Amino acid sequence: MSVETKNVTISIEKAKISKIDQVDFDNLKFGSVYTDHMLVCDYRNGAWQAPKIMPYQSIALDPSAKVFHYGQAIFEGMKAYKDDKGDIFLFRPLENQKRLNISAKRLAIPELPEDIFMEGLTTLLQLDSDFIPTQEGSSLYIRPFMFASGNGFHASPADEYKFIIACAPSGSYFSGKVKVLIEQTYSRSANGGVGFAKAGGNYAGQFYPTQLAIEKGYNQVIWTDDTEHEFIEEAGAMNIFVRINDTLITGPTSDRILDGITRKSILEIAKDHNIPTEVRKITVTEVVNAAKDGSLKEMFGAGTAAVISPIAAFGYKGTDYDLPELENSYATKLKKLITDIQYNKSEDKYGWRYKVNI
C-alpha cells in the first residue's frame, strides 16, 4: 500500500507479525528494542527517491560502500512523547531536520528535503504509535541517520546515499550521580573540523578517552579545547552548563561545539524564569577556583537523550571536587519545565510542541 501526504507519496509494507508483545514497557533500557517498522529513502541518479516504510530489518551493503572507508555518516536524536490522553508529540522537530542538513552539507552528503523528513517521520509514528511508552520518564527514541551507500575505493564523496529513521521505546538514558573527568590530553574536535556536525566519527573518537576515564572511576569526560585544554566545551556527548553563584553559564557554539536543541531551549526558558545566563567561554581555572571557594553550585550536561544530567563531582589533575547537593537546583527546575512541555503537561508558549495526528 502507499499513502499520499501533503507533498510525498510513501509506500508502506506492514510487518506481518508485530513485536510489541515482546516489549517490557516497565523495564525499558535505552535504545535496545525496536519498533515494527522503519523508514528508508535512497539517493541515486542525483535525486532523493520516494521514501518507503518497511518492516524493521537488516540492510545489505557492498564491502566497498564508502561509509565503511571514508566515514560519510551523520545522525540525529529525537523523541516522541505520549500524554495521558494518548496524543503524540514531538519537540522542535524542524530544528533536528535543519541540523541534519547542516551536518550533511559539512560531510558532502546531499541535503534531505524537509517534506521527506517530516512527512516520513509522522507517517512512521502513526504506524508504530503503540510503541510510544506512557510510563513516567519514558519515550520513543527516534534515530534519523544518513550514510554513503555508494560503492568505490576512490577517496571522494559517494554517488548514492541512504536515509533511514529507526525508533526504539526507551527508558531514562542516565540514572544516578555522574562523576566526570576534565580531559587534558585528548580532544573531541578542532577548529575548522566537524565538531558542530552530528557525524558518527565525532563519537567514535570519544570512546577511547572515555574508556580511559571509566577505568579511573569516572562516568564521562568533560571535553576541553584542542590547543591549551583550558576552555570547557562539552560533557561527553552533551552540551555543558555551569552554575557559579546564581548565574548559569554555557560556552558559545562554534566549529567544535554542537548547537544543541536542548541547550538553546534551556537558555530561553532560563531567561523567562529570571535565571541569569551567560553565553561565554568558561576556563577550567575558573571552574576549579569556583569549586574551591564554594561558588560553584551546579554543573550539568544537556541533550536529547538525558534532557539534563546533573554532575555530582569532577576530577582535574588528580583531585576530585564534589558539587553540593541543592534542594532547589536549576537542573531539576529546568528539566521539569522542559519535560512538562514535551509531555503536554503545561502550556507551550514557545510553539515547540509538535502534535502528530493519528
Contact between 248 and 284 (Cβ < 8 Å): no
> Rounded CA gap, 146 and 275, in Å?
38
pLDDT digits (tens, 9 = 90+) for 123-142: 999 999 999 999 988 999 99
Q: Which pLDDT score, from 0 to 100, does residue 173 have?
A: 75
Q: Which pLDDT score, from 0 to 100, does residue 6 have?
A: 72
Q: Which pLDDT score, from 0 to 100, does residue 31 have?
A: 84
> Rounded CA gap, 222 and 250, in Å?
13
Where do the domains of the chain lie, and which CATH numbers do they carry?
2-170 (3.30.470.10), 178-342 (3.20.10.10)
Nearest-5° Cα angle at 144, 138 to 149: 145
Evaluate if pTM is beyond 0.75.
Answer: yes
pLDDT digits (tens, 9 = 90+) for 330-339: 999 999 999 9
Helix H or strand E segment including 234: strand 231-235
Alpha-carbon distance values, 45 to 48, 107, 117, 173 (Å) = 8, 19, 20, 40
> Rounded CA gap, 180 and 224, in Å?
13
Query: What nine digits make up the cell of 179?
Result: 562523576
Residue 175 has pLDDT above 70, yes or no: no
Residue 174 has pLDDT above 70, yes or no: no
Q: Which pLDDT score, from 0 to 100, does residue 32 have?
A: 87
Percent of the chain with pLDDT over 90: 93
Residue 285 has pLDDT above 70, yes or no: yes
Which residues is 144 bridged to in the sheet? 165
> Rounded CA gap, 161 and 176, in Å?
39
Residue 30 has pLDDT above 90, yes or no: no
pLDDT digits (tens, 9 = 90+) for 204-236: 999 999 999 999 999 999 999 999 999 999 999
Other CB atoms within a 10 A radius of the CB of residue 35 amount to 26
Alpha-carbon distance values, 137 to 65, 70, 141, 169 (Å) = 38, 38, 12, 11
> Rounded CA gap, 207 and 193, in Å?
18
pLDDT band at 158 (very low <50, low <70, confident <90, very high): very high
For the purposes of burial, counting CB atoms within 10 Å of the CB of 88, is it exposed (0-12), middle (13-18) or buried (19 or more)?
A: buried
Percent of the chain with pLDDT over 70: 98
Q: What is the mean pLDDT of the chain?
A: 96
Query: What nine digits make up the cell of 202?
Result: 565525532
Alpha-carbon distance values, 140 to 75, 167, 304 (Å) = 16, 7, 12
> Rounded CA gap, 328 and 267, in Å?
18
**Closest Cα partner for 305 from 260, 336, 270?**
260
> Rounded CA gap, 293 and 243, in Å?
13
pLDDT digits (tens, 9 = 90+) for 41-63: 999 999 999 999 999 999 999 99
Residue type, 302: A
Residue 99 has pLDDT above 80, yes or no: yes
Mean pLDDT of 76-80: 98
Q: Which pLDDT score, from 0 to 100, does residue 136 have?
A: 84
pLDDT digits (tens, 9 = 90+) for 294-331: 999 999 999 999 999 999 999 999 999 999 999 999 99
Residue 92 has pLDDT above 70, yes or no: yes
Look at the alpha carbons of 174, 179, 182, 184 in this order and tell me if their dihedral is positive or negative.
Answer: negative
The angle that helices 261-272 and 93-106 make with each other, rounded to 10 degrees, is 140
